[in-house]
Structure 1
């Protein structure tokens, strides 16, 4: 039986932890306020110097800036909180980056979101985003049909498991400290029409080839995250598209409407979410088969690199880079030959299998909510549509619905920023 002193000590510890929690939440609120002030300042300065004649062109560039995007990189921060910075793929001089706040700090914040310690923590619900201002969401003509589809999706099995998302979070936490290395890549948006095994295989293969080179050159493991098995929705700068005097709703991705420029195609159709779900499940099933069935064996991947260089055109502007790449691929081949002689053959799981993760922009919130599940082992909520999610450039308002939804899920999260923004503390 506990003494009064023990009870007082437990109470003191609880009060101290509560005070620490309140302090951390206050720091988060102060940081958010500083970010809002910084964003307002930058937008004001940009607005004062922007040439109106180039405004429409800039918006057009923003629409397609992330086509065939690839993100790589890691960086250790001074405070140890773990921000992973990506090296952006540049297109027409535009830069972009995903910033991942991971490690134990985020895991603790995820727990605090579920704890009964403050009005902020207790106010989140899986549908609390509906009370916030929602941008980039389609208007469905039949609300009853939409509700039926969402109810159906809610009854479907999750696409990924909470445990898989936690495993990725742990690996990203290690990457935040400088090891391993993060590689993310894929198309701007997946297509229902172009869905086939060859397209999935080709994207997977490119990421594996890049991963082998990065792993050998950097002498560290590589986390490979595909922008696939759920990357359908597209944010738009304008809700309408005008062609030859005809004005129709913008194309918002194959899980919302069609890309053909006609009235029927551009009407948002809830049934497309079901088709996208089925395609995502099939895509991930094939990716898992590739990753664990021997297709991703290191010898095979490096042979792809050697074959690629053997068939590369000579005399182009990338000749110097190509020679360095070829040299590195041969060095990898020599290392693999030594490993094979030493007994670490292609049949060994370390050589023949690969971890592979999926990600997409959290944009179509009704669908994301329908695929969110409460984890029975932790009590935390996970968006089981993908291992990792990010909030986009057009939907990252601190008081918006997308940020509200994401603050309550325990997946690894990212935020997409265009060139010109800074992170506090840098």
Structure 2
């Protein structure tokens, strides 16, 4: 058959496919019959940058049922798309490139067969590929390859339109509805637009959402009473403590040595005083009495340091910070913070509010809190203080807001974290949907244009 006649029949097979049949499958069936191929496959890109998807195979009603074969066909099509030229196996001298591994692998699927892949290009971009297989004894001739390349030039824009039509198929398949409804469609559209506008202007509650942390109502930091080394740790964070309970012991060996030295100095000074009295040496008596006072002061200081070697709990409550169990033997300096304790009852909430929302938070505003440890329990809160100093968190500026619980909170403990929602008046539903977009646009406009 002349090349022009074969091309017209090929295009007609695609364009004049019977109603209810897939035009892509009709095309691959025609190519398989006219070129005496055992298999013809067609693949297309659904989007400009996506991979080629095998959409029709002449000997398969549903390509998805043959996963391994479809993967081999897909690989061969991607090779042809990457090279942007026709590839055959076995290779032909007239073609600029030799086939890749995917064509060699596909040639072994039917035992031994010839493979030809022709890319479908449109506006300089490959939108798909045709892959043909037949017996190795009848390799693809130059005349047949030229026909396929010519057909690919005409089929590419038609296939692109076909894919666009598939996307609109769902909308086109919608029923027109009863005849009496058709004249009312313009009025229904206007009514729907009016309803949406009314909903957009509907006032709703405005809420500020902020991460929150539960802290003790009054927290106390315990510091090292003197320089020394950690000897024994009696309590860790989360442990309940009673007033006067030992929490930490510092190493007392150095203090004991200082106490013994002070006692020895005092004894020597008192002996010297007795000798001066026996000799009636008034000048020496005055000197030794001064040494006695000095030794007694050192001894008193050593005894006080010995008493301060143990850190005691100042109240009933919980240890909320300061795990020193792995710091035994570590040196500490006087005034260094060791632990933080808080009462077991009575809490305050610390919220971190973004700087874009802090202007909407007022003292006395109410809200709700849910902690991660008890997500099913909602706790009422009231804002008590908005700190005036910004705090940076994760590269963003915000302000700490303190709040108090409005009721009992069984099971709550210092250190729990959650999310608080604070009431901030009312706003339009449209504003709630847009969120911070208008503010971001204003800042962007000011930054760019002033």
TM-score, structure 1 as length reference: 0.17
Structure richer in strand, relative to its length: 2
Q: What TM-score do the two structures reach when normalised by structure 2?
A: 0.17
Larger radius of gyration: 2
Higher relative contact order (CA 8 A, sep 6+): 1
